Structure 1
Amino acid sequence: MGTDPASPLRLSIFEEASGWFRRARASLLEAIPCGRGCCNCCVGIFPITRLDAQELRLGLNTLPPAQREAIVARATHQIGVIEASYPRLRSTPCLDAWADTTIDAMVEQFAHLPCPALGENGTCHVYAFRPITCRTMGIPTESNGMVEGACTVQTAVPLIRLSPSLQAESVRLAENEAAALSAVGQNHLQAGDELLLPYGFL
């Protein structure tokens, strides 16, 4: 399968992620603070996939030229700031060969950078085309029997745990995303699967 943006496989992975979040949120009786204008998780860089980058660029193409150019300008500025500290990115934005510890340090160093598509009113200008990470962010995480909030806004977490079926569905979602990445093959932007968020807008 090619990289046709209208590919059913490509579309389904984003729809699947959004559907999982809706069901997970409903199962927690809506007891999470995520809502329109809440943008705490929209500040800070993080890795996205080639699929996410394609989706973001589709979103940019739906915007008025001035708004699109402003987002691209913000992304370009952020990339310049990041590459000043990590010049290796100038040759390729691909993160696949980078050590996890280095990526973690990079994310921490630039945790103050807002998403280039974040509006002044706290809304996302490309919401319908947001990355999978953005679509699933907000559900409390569970590890070794302990539940933690998904962000600093979640100072309390629901007493209800995410059901085993929804947890298993989350694992399947990750597997389906990997399969979709494998199916679309390489594109012209990078030779790997992951890149930092600002690069996805260029």
Structure 2
Amino acid sequence: MQINPQLEHDYLSLQGTVDQWFSRCVEAGGEMLACRAGCGSCCRGLFDITLLDAFLLKRAFAKLPETIRETVLFRCRLRLNELQQRWPGLGQPLLLNGLPEREWTEMPEDDETPCPLLGEEGVCLVYSARPLICRLHGLPNVDCSGEDFEGTVCTLHKGDPETLPTDILRAEFREIFAKEVVILRQFARELTGQDTAELDTFIPLALLADYNTVDWRAVVWSRQLAEKSP
């Protein structure tokens, strides 16, 4: 489960840029904003993450104490059983691509099942390695140009985040997302030999996947999953 060191550096740098934006918004918003480390209210349901995020997540997860990992994996197996009833062809390496896209990009919004990585006190067990989507969630993703990338805004805020000063709320999101695509495409090309930026999974699936035994260049995964799915 190796990642090109330069690619990893570039991606972590991108995450850092997003973290800086989020932190300055939280600092400026004060009590008006609900989002902050330790709040797990939005860490519910299923949402897709990239395979690169999954690799980084698994590496951090492997460093947790065994007892904690077993508890988390038990929750993940329950989720996997649910998903395999819905998609019988879902197997290792537990990627979503090739399944009907609308079915996994529009998962039920009323699913209140906590993320398996939430600890007993509602704190993420691998917070420093959380996926990019988790870092973006809760505040509007408005580019410096004014273009709105429609980030998911937390409903627990006491006020409207868009009342924050423009120079604090807005960031170079167009550039951030463009860089993300370049990084993901290079990651997929080096891993699979395929020219794609679309390799996605869910957090419970990522933690159960056995990436080390996969011959990533042997199979076109999206085609394999499509053939197995009803």
TM-score by length of 1: 0.79
State, as a whole percentage, how many aligned pairs show the same letter: 27
- RCO comparison, higher one (Cα < 8 Å, 6+): 1
Q: Which amino acid aligns with 1:175?
A: A
Q: C-alpha separation between the residues in 1 aligned to 2:151 and 2:61?
A: 34
**Contact persistence 2:32–2:158 (CA under 8 A):** no
Gaps of 5+ in 1: none
- 2:184 counterpart (177, 181, 184): 181
Deviation of 1:121 after TM superposition, in Å, equals 0.8
1:49 maps to what in 2? 50
Question: Structure 2, unaligned stretches of length 5 or more?
Answer: 209-230
Q: Kindly indicate whether the alpha-carbon contact (under 8 Å) linking 1:118 and 1:124 is maintained by their aligned counterparts in 2.
A: yes
Alignment deviations for residues 15-44 of structure 1 (CA, whole Å, 9 cap, x no partner): 222122123334545631113442111111
Q: In 2, Cα distance between the equivalents of 1:162 and 1:201?
A: 39
* Structure 1 residue 108: Cα displacement: 0.3
Cα deviation, residue 109, structure 1: 6.9
In structure 2, C-alpha distance between the alignment counterparts of 1:36 and 1:160, rounded to whole Å: 22
How far apart are the structure 2 equivalents of 1:153 and 1:136?
16
Distance 1:75 1:53, change over 3 A: same
Q: Is residue 58 from structure 1 mapped to residue 92 from structure 2 by the alignment?
A: no
- Closer, same or farther in 2 for the Cα pair 1:109/1:81, shift >3 Å? farther
Alignment partner of 1:117 is 2:117: yes
CA distance in 1: counterparts of 2:163 and 2:10, whole angstroms = 33
Residue equivalent to 2:216: none
SS of the residue aligned with 1:89? coil
Distance 1:130 1:48, change over 3 A: same
Render the CA deviation track for 1:115-165: whole Å, top value 9, x for unaligned: 1110121111111111111112121467999x9971232364145256378
Return the letter of the residue paired with 2:9: P
1:181–1:150 distance in 2 versus 1, CA, 3 Å: same
1:50-129 counterparts in 2 under 5 A? 50-90=51-91, 93-105=94-106, 107-108=107-108, 111-129=111-129
- Please say if residues 140 and 149 of structure 1, whose CA atoms lie closer than 8 Å, have aligned partners that are also in contact: yes
CA contact (8 A) 1:28 1:162 kept: no
Alignment deviations for residues 43-71 of structure 1 (CA, whole Å, 9 cap, x no partner): 11100001110111121122111112221
Residue matched to 1:160: 163
- How far the C-alpha of 1:112 sits from its partner, in A, is 2.5
- The residue identity in structure 2 corresponding to 1:39 is G
After superposition, residues 137-148 of structure 1 pair within 5 angstroms as 137-140=137-140
Count the aligned residue pairs: 197
